[in-house]
Structure 1
Amino acid sequence: MEFQSCVKIVTEWDIVAARQLGRNVSKELGFGTVDQARITTAISELARNIYLYAGRGQICIEKLNQGGKKGLLVLATDEGPGITDLRKVMEDGYSTSGGLGAGLPGVRRLMDEFDIQSTIGEGTNIKSVKWLR
């Protein structure tokens, strides 16, 4: 899969850039303001996690068109330490940073599809999709 739009996440400002990219692409695709907000919130959470836990990574955004169905794919990748307990981080209210713990479970709720792969010492890949209704 070839991504047209990626933002490297190294500083806090990159989180803002990733959100803006997500908002622009979702608007171009015709998502309404509520879904645009859901997408940018999900991107914000994913980018923030990269910044806080991995130190560096990237958010890539791709327009999808499958059988006439349009959507937006968000891929968050990093080469950080990996997630030791995936089940735990997917629990509502679980937080390692003292935040609200809405993180990954929140992203899963905001998007239509969600998949996470993480390998200790290699990093994490999170793929999420929002379909245009």
Structure 2
Amino acid sequence: MNNQSSVEILTEWDIVAARQLGRNVAKELGFGTVDQARITTAISELARNIYLYAGQGKIEIQRVTEKGLNGIMIVATDTGPGIPDIRKVMEDGFSTSGGLGAGLPGVKRLMDDFKIETILGEGTDIRATKWLR
């Protein structure tokens, strides 16, 4: 069982590929259908953000083990413009694209752990983990 897989996000089709990869890994790890849906929704949001705002980046799906728990970590990285105001993008209902997506607050709610690091002009690194109960 490989420990990590990734999808380069360059086109809208890559968003679909990243979702599929995440769903497969979540299923292999033993996540139920509801959590699989949460994980794929989170991947969708993160991949779409890369596509819309950074132009290109990568979604990595990692199997993680911590304190006896198994989980899945989604790592979304890009070398885009960065996020000028993290507090603002973490507000519910904030959208720069006019989209109806759950956005980053939605990703944070869907997952158990959520961490975001961004440097203006250099890019963004978001890590979201879901633990197997």
Q: Using structure 2 for the length normalisation, give the TM-score.
A: 0.96
Report the counterpart of residue 17 of structure 1 in structure 2.
17
Report the counterpart of residue 113 of structure 1 in structure 2.
113
What one-letter code is carried by the residue in structure 1 that aligns with 2:96? T
Q: How does 1:43-58 map to 2 (within 5 A)?
A: 43-58=43-58
Tell me, in whole angstroms, the C-alpha distance in 1 between the residues paired with 2:93 and 2:87. 12
Structure 2 counterpart SS, 1:83? coil
What one-letter code is carried by the residue in structure 2 that aligns with 1:37? A
What one-letter code is carried by the residue in structure 1 that aligns with 2:46? L
Structure 2 counterpart SS, 1:80? coil
Runs in 1 of length 4+ with deviation above 4 angstroms?
none
- 8 Å Cα contact 2:75-2:128 kept in structure 1: yes
Q: Is 1:61 the counterpart of 2:73 in the alignment?
A: no
Tell me, in whole angstroms, the C-alpha distance in 2 between the residues paired with 1:132 and 1:69. 7
How many residues were matched structurally? 131
Tell me, in whole angstroms, the C-alpha distance in 2 between the residues paired with 1:72 and 1:31. 9
Structure 2 counterpart SS, 1:104? helix
What one-letter code is carried by the residue in structure 2 that aligns with 1:107? V
Report the counterpart of residue 38 of structure 2 in structure 1.
38
- 8 Å Cα contact 1:10-1:57 kept in structure 2: yes
**C-alpha displacement at 1:68, in angstroms?**
2.1
In structure 2, list runs of 5 or more residues that go unmatched: none
- 8 Å Cα contact 1:80-1:123 kept in structure 2: yes
Report the counterpart of residue 103 of structure 2 in structure 1.
103
Percent identity of equivalent pairs: 73
Report the counterpart of residue 89 of structure 2 in structure 1.
89
- 8 Å Cα contact 1:94-1:101 kept in structure 2: no
**C-alpha displacement at 1:101, in angstroms?**
5.2
For the aligned residues, what is the CA RMSD?
A: 0.9
- 8 Å Cα contact 2:45-2:101 kept in structure 1: no
Report the counterpart of residue 79 of structure 1 in structure 2.
79
**C-alpha displacement at 1:102, in angstroms?**
1.9
Q: What CA deviation, in whole Å up to 9, does each residue of 1:73-119 have, x standing for no partner?
A: 11000000000010000000000000125210000000000000011
- 8 Å Cα contact 1:77-1:125 kept in structure 2: yes
